[in-house]
Structure 1
Amino acid sequence: MPNFALFLATSLAITFAPGPDNLQVLARGISQGRMAGFVSALGFAAGVTFHTTLAALGIAALLRSSPVAFEVLKLAGAAYLVWIGVKALRSQGLAAAGDRPRQPLASIFRQSVLGNVMNPKVTLFFVVFLPQFVDPAGAQPVTVQMLELGLLFMLQTVVVFSLFGVCAGMIGGWLKRRPRAGVWLDRIAGLTFIAIGIRVALRD
């Protein structure tokens, strides 16, 4: 897989960066316990398969129809990553995770999956993010490469989000004592996104 280490590092930065998904996992773990946080993490990770499949099929079709359009999409993706980075740098920090009512674990899983699947911004993100690490001239078809990258993204999401959910009480307490911790997490993630975007734009 081309740029495996770079893709994994970028994926981890994206997953650790404060956002609605990991905040919900954190909130579930704090309000309802470790198992609820873990199930919520599995639900959000499972939703990634939907967006990966849409992105893989769409990008493969685009590459077959117009290699030039594929290159334009890659440049747009690079600009999008830089924009995400700038937005993260301007963030004012991590919002507090609110309390949630207790619910059955099956409901938590279902809500987490649907919350991820029904978010069109996630699909857009995968459409512009995954192609940055695809080699059109590689031995494997583009669709296979995209699915492999999506699977890797899902696996690391399971690990990171599960860590958030299981350790929610400790993480939540740490964040409450350090309200500006989210600012520094955003700064690190923002610089990572900008660096990756510039690298993609300059890559042959």
Structure 2
Amino acid sequence: MYGIHDFGLYVGTCILLNLTPGQDTFYILGRSMAQGRSAGMASVLGISSGALVHSLAAALGLSAVVAASATAFTVIKFAGAAYLIWLGIRMLLSPKQDNALVSNAQAPASFGKVYRQGLLTNVLNPKVALFFLAFVPQFIAKDSGNPFAAFILLGLTFVTTGTIWCFFLALFAASLGRHLRERPGFGTWLNRTAGALFVLLGLRLATSK
């Protein structure tokens, strides 16, 4: 269909790639443990939406522009790194939280904000754009009648498998975090740990080639 070949191999590869820990995985784990299930779910949806943006951009050829321009790649990379570091510093400097305050961090009102932050975290990572550009075309025949549709379908497949896996991760991490937050002082510790993790992820992105 649409010139897609070896679809079974593609799906299997997608699952293996999604199981491999990366920046998005650690971001979701940090959010889920520190701020609960709602924040975890919002992070997953935000990251997945960002991956859809990258898939569409690659299908339209925009990722090729980033790949061809060192300046564009560098600007986007540092913007993403700065955003992650900013989020981390905010969590590191947040006031101490008792159990009641930590519970309020999971309020539905914060869902949209966490979703947007996850979306920006993924969109501002040029390595994701290059991944879609390098990986997906390998499973589209050169004589495909509709390569754009093929690219979108393969992109949706990758995002779907990744979203399912990340939902499981978020639920597990949120459950673990909830038990830890029942101990005095652990809510603040989790927030600080997640903040430090985001700063490290930002520095890792900034120094990546």
TM interval, short-chain normalised? 0.5 to 0.7
Q: Which residue of 1 aligns with 2:45?
A: 42
- Alpha-carbon distance, 1:145 to partner: 0.5
Are 2:29 and 1:29 aligned?
Answer: no
Are 2:200 and 1:168 aligned?
Answer: no
| Conserved 8 A contact 1:38-1:165 | yes
Moved more, 148-157 or 162-171: 162-171
Q: Quick one: distance in 2 between partners of 1:135 and 1:156?
A: 22
1:65-108 deviations in whole A, cap 9, x for unaligned? Answer: xxxxxxxxxxxxxxxxxxxxxxxxxxxxxxxxxxx564711111
- Alpha-carbon distance, 1:170 to partner: 5.9
Indicate which of 130, 133, 136 corresponds to 2:142.
136
Q: Which residue of 2 aligns with 1:151?
A: 156
Kindly provide the amino acid, as one letter, of the partner of residue 8 in structure 1.
Answer: V
- Cα RMSD between the aligned structures? 2.5
Larger radius of gyration: 2
- Alpha-carbon distance, 1:2 to partner: 1.7
Q: Quick one: distance in 2 between partners of 1:105 and 1:57?
A: 30
1:8-63 deviations in whole A, cap 9, x for unaligned? Answer: 1111111111111011111111111122111111110011111111211229x9xx
Q: Quick one: distance in 2 between partners of 1:4 and 1:46?
A: 23
Q: Quick one: distance in 2 between partners of 1:169 and 1:32?
A: 8
State the aligned residue count. Answer: 134
Cα distance change on mapping 1:39 and 1:169 into 2, 3 Å: closer
Q: Which residue of 2 aligns with 1:188?
A: none
Q: Between the two proteins, what is the percent identity of the paired residues?
A: 35
Kindly provide the amino acid, as one letter, of the partner of residue 165 in structure 2.
Answer: V
Q: Secondary structure at the match of 1:167?
A: helix
Q: Which residue of 2 aligns with 1:106?
A: 112
Structure 1 unaligned segments of length 5 or more: list them: 62-99, 173-204
Cα distance change on mapping 1:171 and 1:159 into 2, 3 Å: farther
Q: Which residue of 2 aligns with 1:198?
A: none
Q: Which residue of 2 aligns with 1:127?
A: 133
Are 2:92 and 1:53 aligned?
Answer: no
Q: Which residue of 2 aligns with 1:2?
A: 5
Q: Secondary structure at the match of 2:61?
A: helix
| Conserved 8 A contact 1:164-1:171 | no
| Conserved 8 A contact 2:40-2:174 | no
Kindly provide the amino acid, as one letter, of the partner of residue 31 in structure 2.
Answer: R
| Conserved 8 A contact 1:35-1:166 | no
| TM-score, normalised by the number of residues in structure 1 | 0.60
1:101-146 deviations in whole A, cap 9, x for unaligned? Answer: 64711111000001101111111111111111111223x4111100
| Conserved 8 A contact 2:37-2:175 | no
Name segments (4+ residues, structure 1) moved above 6 Å.
none
Kindly provide the amino acid, as one letter, of the partner of residue 54 in structure 1.
Answer: A
Kindly provide the amino acid, as one letter, of the partner of residue 160 in structure 1.
Answer: W
| TM-score, normalised by the number of residues in structure 2 | 0.58
Q: Quick one: distance in 1 between partners of 2:16 and 2:175?
A: 21
